[in-house]
A and B are shown apart, each in its own frame.
Chain A
Amino acid sequence: MRNYIIRRLVAMPLMLLVMSFVLFLLLWIKPGDAAFAVVAGIEEARNLDVWREELGLDRPWYVQYFDWLGNVFQGDLGDSLRPPRNPVADKVQERIGNTIEIGLLTIAISAIIGLPIGIISAIRRNTLSDYTLRTATIVGISVPNFWTGTLIIIFPVIWWGWNPIQPYTSFTEDPLTNLSIVIFPAAILAYGSAAYTARIVRSSMLEVFFSDYVRTARAKGLRERVVVMRHVFRTSLIPVLTVIGLQLGAILGGAVVAESIFAIPGMGLLMLESVQTEDYPVVLTVVLLFALMFMIITLAVDVLYTTVDPRIRY
């Protein structure tokens, strides 16, 4: 177990290294460079070499990459290429809390909605309530989240002249206002991901329902409720955990959409802007941070397996 975790931990930086290289190459092969983005607008495109020099883009790509990498090893994430060239660390620090908040809230809401739906759906499989719930969840997957978001923006205004978007307030300033802002994007992302959660809960519970030990448990005369909650649900938690863990990746992606519609300064928006302007120090940092979070979560999920299912050993 310990060796396994250590092995995984050692692999992480290596993977991040490869990822940074791949990303850098991708950004580098894009036609044009950040100098163009800096001077966006047709009238701006003179003497780009001056800007390239200022931004260090006149150096060969490998020099740029290893320069960046060297600084990262010294704890310096570099400066954004876009004027006013703020340090990447500052930009990230300013925004990461918002995205994490949305992510956690989304997972919470999604679990609160998705788990009961999945359980009910499994217990009452092939009944009307199962079909209804399954249909509702699949509809949740079928509507793109940018549209759910758009509807929430548009309709309250028409009906009540009220808008769910208020000037952004951080959690530390005013937790209640902050939650009242963040709850909408989180709910929208959760609607989609709850659907996945419910599906997986349903199908993994069904799988367990038919297993020998559940039959044994029933044969022992345990009450159905105990059978379902203790034996079936517990065992089926493994795939559920996996899905919730994996969804964090999807939710971080969905955060781009939610942040852009609800005007929340988060990492997703930062990434979107930086990709478009080829601001590679920012892109690399954001993607690698997301990837690191993702790796840590999957590791945590794997470790959790062992407590949920003692048969699993690493």
Chain B
Amino acid sequence: MTERSPAAPLPDLQDQGYAMPEQERFNPFRWALREPMGALGVVLIVLVVFGSFGAPILKTTNPRSLAAYSGDNLAGPSSEHFFGTDRDGKDVWSSVLYGGRISLKIGIATVIVGTIGGTMLALIAGFLGGVVDFVFSRIADILIAFPAILFALTLRTALGEDLPDLPGLPRAEFVVVLAISLIFLPAAFRIMRGTVLEQRAAQYVESATVVGASQLRIMLRHILPNITGLMIVLTSISLPAAILTESTLAFLLGAGDTPSWGAELSGDSRTFFVRAPWIAIFPGAALAVTVFAFNIFGDSLRDTLDPRLRGRI
């Protein structure tokens, strides 16, 4: 799409008190003081992850058990049901914690395929150049031009039946992951490709080539470590976007067999919002807090790791 012909001038950041990571040993406490928002993000993320994966020990009833049907429908929050119960008498606290597992799983799987996959393709394209680069870039152009949600809708309805169940990732979740990844992949590819090209022109690659290092070695040992920071930042910003996109898909097409936060936010919780707001508020808050936490964490990470990325992601 766009390429700025002269590379944008690199601002002299050290003068402004921004530390370049390679010049300073990373001290989490100092980082937390300088980036309070980022630190808050980390704390929230830790809480969310702990809640989701520690669900079975946190006074929950697995929503996928007959015992989950308490017979007490739409009961308000109480000491027995911290977040109340839903239309079918299931404990919302349990659903939120177990739903978090699925939302996080979808988010993580999506960034693995989308962001990390995009980075790998960018490495290959940027390095091999020529036909491979051309073909990859054009495919990315095409994928980017598809209206995102609409494309994901099409993919989800088209592939719903044909995918296999992966270990830990049932078909219903796999198809969502695939649909959302295909939105993120071309964007990640494009950003990373630019960086790979930049790096490739750098002097250290030239020297490595002169020394006789193989292409693969240069790619994996020299360039990859240099773009990892950017990749991590991209990941932390894509992950909440993936979780949000999943919830929108759940709203538009129904959640299928994916009891994620998006699913909890789209069915009964909308119907019964007046009568029982807790069935929407708690999963909604969990989702919002997660997205919020990853976003502020991502922002801070970007400022810390690679401030040049401001304005780009």
A adjacent to B, CB under 8 Å: yes
Q: What does the 1/0 interface line of A286-305 toward B look like (CB < 8 Å)? A: 11001100110010011001
B148 with A207: CB separation less than 8 A: no
Contact B252 A272 (CB under 8 A): yes
Complex Cα distance, B150 from A202, in Å, reads 30
Asked if B247 CB lies within 8 Å of chain A CBs, one says: yes
Across the interface, name the chain B residue whose C-beta is closest to A277.
B157
CB-based contact A236/B311 at 8 Å: yes
Q: Which residue of B lies closest to A271 (CB)?
A: B150
> Is the CB–CB distance between A154 and B288 below 8 Å?
no
The contact of B158 among A11, A30, A206, A207, by CB within 8 Å, is A30
Asked whether B251 lies within 8 Å of A144 as measured between CB atoms, the reply is yes
* Residues in B whose Cβ lies below 8 Å from that of A77: none
Band of interface residues on B: 35 or more
Q: Are B153 and A275 in contact (CB under 8 A)?
A: yes
Task: Tell me which of B16, B288, B289 contacts A210 (CB under 8 A).
Answer: B16
| Contact present for B310 and A204 (CB under 8 Å) | yes
Cα distance A303–B149 when bound, in Å?
27
**Among listed B6-14, B107-115, B209-217, interface-contacting one:** B6-14
B291 touches A141 (CB 8 A): yes
B289 / chain A contacts, CB cutoff of 8 Å: 142
Q: Tell whether, in the assembled complex, residue A257 and residue B295 are in contact, meaning their CB atoms are under 8 Å apart.
A: no
- Report A1 CB to chain B, min CB distance, Å: 12
Taking the complex as formed, is B151 at the interface, i.e. its CB lies under 8 A from any CB of chain A?
Answer: yes
B-side contacts of A305, CB under 8 Å? 2
Contact pick for B311, options A29, A142, A203, CB 8 Å = A203
Nearest residue (CB) in B for A248 is B147
Expressed in whole angstroms, the Cα–Cα distance for A268 and B251 within the complex equals 14
Q: How far is the CA of A145 from the CA of B302 in the complex (A)?
A: 26
B9 touches A211 (CB 8 A): yes
Q: In the complex, which residues of chain A have a beta carbon less than 8 angstroms from the beta carbon of B64?
A: none
CA distance A181 to B174 in the complex (A): 38
Give CA–CA (A238, B6) in the complex, Å: 14
Residue B161 at the A interface, CB < 8 A?
yes
Specify which chain A residues have a CB less than 8 angstroms from the CB of B221 in the assembled complex. none
Among B142, B265, B287, max chain A CB count under 10 A is at B142
| Count, A-B residue pairs, CB within 8 A | 161
Residues B292 and A138 in contact, CB atoms below 8 Å apart = yes
Alpha-carbon distance between A30 and B161 when the two chains are bound, in angstroms: 8
- Residues of chain A contacted by B30 (CB below 8 angstroms): none
- Judge whether B295 and A204 touch: CB under 8 Å: no
Question: A14 CA to B1 CA in the complex, in Å?
Answer: 15
Q: Does A229 sit within 8 A of B, measured CB to CB?
A: no
Contact B153 A257 (CB under 8 A): no
Complexed CA–CA distance, A294 and B145 (Å)? 6
Query: At the interface, yes or no: B4 with Cβ under 8 Å from chain A?
Result: yes
The answer to the question of B284 belonging to the interface, with a C-beta cut-off of 8 Å to chain A, is yes
A143-B284, A146-B266, A211-B11 known; A31-B161 Cβ under 8 A: yes
Contact (Cβ within 8 A) B150 A290: yes
CB of A83, distance to nearest CB on chain B (Å): 20
- B240 beta carbon closer than 8 Å to chain A: yes
- Are B155 and A287 in contact (CB-based, < 8 A)? no
B153: which of A22, A272, A313 is its contact (CB, 8 Å)? A272
Residues on B with C-beta less than 8 A from A113 are none
**Shortest Cβ gap from B176 to chain A (Å):** 15
Q: Which of B136-156 contact A (CB under 8 A)?
A: 138, 141-142, 145-151, 153-155
Which residue from chain A places its CB closest to the CB of B277 in the assembled complex?
A: A154
Do B310 and A252 have beta carbons less than 8 Å apart?
A: no
Judge whether B147 and A207 touch: CB under 8 Å: no
Question: Which B299-313 residues have C-beta < 8 A from chain A?
Answer: 299, 302, 307-308, 310-312
Instruction: Please measure, in the bound complex, the distance between the C-alpha atom of A270 and the C-alpha atom of B37, giving whole angstroms.
Output: 42
- Other CB < 8 Å A-B pairs besides A139-B292, A147-B284, A239-B312, 7 of them? A144-B287, A146-B247, A158-B274, A211-B11, A287-B146, A295-B145, A298-B2
By Cβ-Cβ distance, the 6 closest A-B pairs, closest first, are: A204-B311, A253-B149, A203-B310, A239-B311, A142-B291, A142-B288
* Chain A positions near chain B (C-beta within 8 angstroms): 11, 15, 18-19, 22-23, 26-27, 29-31, 131, 134, 138-139, 141-147, 150, 154, 158, 199-200, 203-204, 206-207, 210-212, 236, 238-239, 242, 249-250, 252-254, 256-257, 260, 268, 271-272, 275-276, 278, 283, 286-287, 290-291, 294-295, 298, 301-302, 305, 311-314
Q: List, sorted by A's number, 19 A–B pairs whose CB atoms are closer than 8 Å.
A: A141-B291, A142-B287, A142-B289, A146-B248, A146-B266, A147-B280, A147-B284, A199-B299, A204-B310, A210-B12, A211-B9, A239-B311, A249-B147, A252-B147, A257-B248, A268-B150, A278-B157, A287-B147, A287-B150
